[in-house]
């Protein structure tokens, strides 16, 4: 629902003609396929104190003749408005990694895993697919100040984050003591996309000293690629 919409834009969306400023409607009017991008203001602020928004792209849809509303001769003003209805369907184009076309894509501005360039360029063109990077994911390890830091890297150099749900202690990732037992502690998974995102392991106060680590292919990046399995006994 909108307060107003440009008459030329509305006529184009609905497949109508304008002649000498007059919009002509006929039973044969047919809307072309259009993409629709918009944003929704969310309650609250992000970590930097800025307004939070959710950005959308609906990839393919047709608009129908809008309803108009308004009242006259009432005790107070009630301005007219326009309600435009659109029916959206999936695209015929099926992006790589999907089984069907795309209906909608969306992001949130307070989601640090979304690259800044994606947010800045969101409304430059319809977004119908996500970037995919199937290049190798490798993990290196450093032990300092009683913490173990796992650092990821893509062969392509792309920015990414580790898929938080894939960080499973003792299964996809682990820190072991000198006896080969799991060291008790907590994993902090970085949420900001970068070329070298980290997972930081902090042992519990009474835990044994870390001696080795391992990573399996079950540890995945945000593209869904599993890490190259590794064992490091050099801690």
**For 161-207, how does the pLDDT look when each residue is reduced to its tens digit (9 = 90+)?**
898 889 999 999 999 999 999 999 999 999 888 999 999 999 999 99
Boundaries of domain holding 47: 7-124
Structure tokens at 146: 């009683």
Query: What CATH code is carried by the domain that includes residue 225?
Result: 2.60.40
Q: Which of 124, 151, 181 corresponds to the end of one domain?
A: 124
- Residue with token string 């900001």: 192
What is the reported pLDDT for 48?
87
Give the integer Cα–Cα distance in Å for 4 and 44.
28
What is the reported pLDDT for 75?
67
Pick from 189, 48, 201, 172: which is nearest to 113 by CA?
Answer: 189
Contact (Cβ atoms closer than 8 angstroms) between residue 139 and residue 230:
yes
pLDDT in tens, 198-231: 999 999 999 999 999 999 999 998 888 899 999 9
Same domain, 151 and 110: no
Give the integer Cα–Cα distance in Å for 113 and 115.
6
What is this structure's pTM? 0.55
Give the integer Cα–Cα distance in Å for 145 and 6.
62
What is the reported pLDDT for 118?
84
Residue 92 maps to a domain: yes
Contact (Cβ atoms closer than 8 angstroms) between residue 112 and residue 193:
yes
Same domain, 154 and 203: yes
Pick from 215, 211, 213: which is nearest to 228 by CA?
Answer: 215
Give the integer Cα–Cα distance in Å for 34 and 19.
23
Running DSSP on this structure, what letter comes out for residue 31? P
């Amino acid at each position: 629902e909108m307060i107003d919409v440009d008459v030329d834009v509305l006529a184009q969306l609905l497949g109508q003609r304008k002649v000498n400023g007059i919009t002509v409607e006929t039973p044969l009017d047919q809307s072309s396929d259009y993409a629709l991008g918009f944003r929704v203001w969310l309650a609250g602020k992000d970590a930097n104190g800025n307004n939070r928004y959710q950005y959308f792209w609906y990839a393919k849809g047709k608009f129908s003749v809008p309803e108009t509303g308004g009242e006259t001769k009432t005790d107070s003003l009630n301005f007219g408005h326009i309600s435009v209805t659109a029916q959206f369907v999936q695209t015929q184009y099926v992006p790589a990694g999907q089984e069907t076309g795309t209906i909608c894509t969306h992001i949130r501005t307070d989601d640090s895993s979304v690259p800044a360039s994606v947010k800045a360029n969101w409304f430059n063109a319809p977004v119908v697919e996500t970037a995919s990077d199937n290049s190798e994911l490798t993990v290196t390890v450093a032990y300092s100040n009683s913490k173990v830091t796992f650092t990821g890297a893509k062969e392509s150099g792309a920015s990414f984050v580790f898929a938080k749900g894939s960080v499973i202690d003792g299964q996809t990732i682990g820190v072991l003591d000198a006896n080969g037992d799991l060291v008790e502690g907590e994993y902090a998974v970085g949420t900001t996309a970068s070329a070298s995102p980290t997972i930081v392991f902090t042992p519990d106060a009474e835990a044994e000293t870390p001696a080795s680590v391992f990573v399996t292919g079950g540890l995945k990046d945000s593209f869904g690629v599993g890490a190259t399995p590794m064992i490091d006994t050099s801690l």
